[in-house]
Amino acid sequence: MINSSTYNYFNSQETPFYYYDMELLENSLISIKKEAAQYNYHVHYAIKANANPRILSLIQSYGFGADCVSGNEIKRSIENGFSTDKIVYAGVGKSDREIELALDSDIFCFNCESIPEIEVIEEIAKSKNKVANIALRINPNVNANTHHYITTGIAENKFGINPWEFEEILSILRKSKNLNLIGLHFHIGSQIVDLSVFKSLCIRINEIQDWFLDHQIIVDHINVGGGFGINYHQPDEEPIPDFKNYFALFKEFLNLKANQEVHFELGRSIVGQCGSLISRVLYVKKGINTKFAILDAGMTDLLRPALYQAFHKIENLSSNESPENYDVVGPICESSDCFGKAVSLPETKRNDLIAIRSAGAYGEVMASEYNLRKVATSFFSNDIK
Ligand SMILES: Cc1ncc(COP(=O)(O)O)c(C=O)c1O
């Protein structure tokens, strides 16, 4: 994963910290841009995956839009160069202040998640004498076959609008002068590695489009969300997800009407593999049946394993000794502060450097100060000589 000068650089820094391989990020962006351009697809980067300004400014330099879920994400994306007319804004709980900010910023589109939200956007847009572009975030009832905490598109879910609410929404829209329905939006979950799930999504979108067509409505934009997964088990074998087949699948299975444009909101697949959390072993402690490698990084730096039992590949960068099994844990006063159980690592000792791989998405951005810990800093490959 790293050469000796990078290792020496790591060794000279205070741990833990995030390390970003900017060449890998750039190569991922090149691949996405090339594959999406074949079909004129629009890509909005899901800011929630990683909002580090250096990461954002590189991503926006490729011309992608931003997918935001809060007012502060809208602000951060604008500050880092994303064009406001490429910002989409989702979220089940948009506050009045956030809606005002989005309207004042003239974002491209609100992805609306409920009838009460649509009514509030209408009211605020009216008070500002503006017209809000909206898309309906529809709950397609497609199971993403991923962890239940990151499944968002099944019927009993807080996200999105269910089909039995369509009639009521159309009647609100018919009366409104301040709402402009421009799209249908879908997002069924995250870390989806089985492409057939996206095929099911396309089939469902086609059915939903037929319903709208029967009601004389053809929207200009179909937003299929994000969710494309990465290879957490073998990051070096698949550093860049297979964007070619991913985009081709939508081309094959999504039935578009004339002049409809397709949008994607990719997060994890763009930034997941470029980041690693680098930490140091504080202690190796003998348990009853196991050995614990206790790191100076914990769930406050990378929450995913504690939050949804996520797997991350763990590597010892300092040792070439024969392998042994360790429970790799952090220093936080919670039993869930564990990065992996029975992890095979070369014999590990105090001060060894440990890399927790594939941590570029939903890593740094979820950091907290719980236990009053300092938030980890970040370093970038293109700054290391
Ligand atoms: C509405 C929406 N779009 C896009 C994404 C990005 O998903 P991913 O990082 O899996 O591509 C999310 C993630 O939760 C989301 O909620």
- Quick: pLDDT tens for 78-117: 999 999 999 999 999 999 999 999 999 999 999 999 999 9
Ligand 1 pocket residue status of 67, Cβ below 6 Å: yes
Q: Which of 304, 314, 308 is nearest to 343 (CA)?
A: 314
Per-state percent for the chain, helix, strand, coil, to nearest 5? 35, 25, 40
Top-confidence residue, 237 or 157:
237
Quote the ligand 1 centre to 265 CA distance (angstroms): 6
Q: Residue 157 pLDDT > 80, yes or no?
A: no
Residue 154 has pLDDT above 80, yes or no: no
Distance set, CA 253 to CA 28, 152, 174, 207 (Å): 24, 21, 31, 12
225 Cβ below 6 A of ligand 1: yes
What would the DSSP string read from start to end of 90-133?
--TT--HHHHHHHHHTT-SEEEE--HHHHHHHHHHHHHTT--EE
* Ligand 1 centroid distance, CA of 186 (Å): 10
Determine the pLDDT at residue 355.
98
Confirm if 324 and 348 have CB atoms less than 8 A apart: yes
**In degrees rounded to 5, what are phi and psi of residue 333?**
-80, 60
> Which amino acid is located at 249 in the chain?
L
Ligand 1 centre to CA of 9 (Å) is: 33
- Mean pLDDT over 361-382 rounds to 97
> Measured in angstroms, how far is the CA atom of residue 187 from the centroid of ligand 1?
7
**CA-to-CA dists, residue 273 to 56, 224, 363, angstroms:** 15, 22, 11
Query: Going from the N-terminus, what domains does the chain have, and what CATH number goes with each?
Result: 4-17+273-383 (2.40.37.10), 23-272 (3.20.20.10)
Does the beta carbon of 107 sit less than 6 angstroms from any atom of ligand 1?
no
109 closest CA partner among 78, 73, 84: 84
With bands split at pLDDT 50, 70 and 90, how would you rate the model's confidence at 2?
A: confident
Model confidence pLDDT, tens digit, residues 222-279: 999 999 999 999 999 999 999 999 999 999 999 999 999 999 999 999 999 999 999 9
pLDDT digits (tens, 9 = 90+) for 28-49: 999 999 999 999 999 999 999 9
Q: Is 268 in the pocket of ligand 1 (CB under 6 A)?
A: yes
286 exposure class (CB count in 10 Å sphere: 0-12, 13-18, 19+)? exposed
159: helix, strand or coil: coil
Measured between its terminal Cα atoms, the distance across the chain in Å is 16
pLDDT band at 150 (very low <50, low <70, confident <90, very high): low
The dihedral built from the CA positions of residue 309, 315, 321 and 323, taken in this order, carries a sign that is: positive
Question: From the CB of 312, is ligand 1 less than 6 Å away?
Answer: no
Of 277, 276, 251, nearest in space to 264 by CA: 251
- Which of 89, 148, 193, 265, when mutated, tests ligand 1's pocket best, judged by the most ligand atoms within 8 Å of its CB? 265
**Ligand 1 pocket, residue 301 CB under 6 Å:** no
- Residue 57's nearest CA partner among 21, 35, 89, 83 is 83
pLDDT surpassing 80 at residue 385: no
Helices vs strands, H then E, count in the chain:
11, 16
Q: Dihedral of the CA atoms 330, 336, 339, 342 (nearest 10)?
A: 110
Query: What's residue 151's pLDDT?
Result: 59
Give the count of beta carbons closer than 10 Å to the beta carbon of residue 256: 15
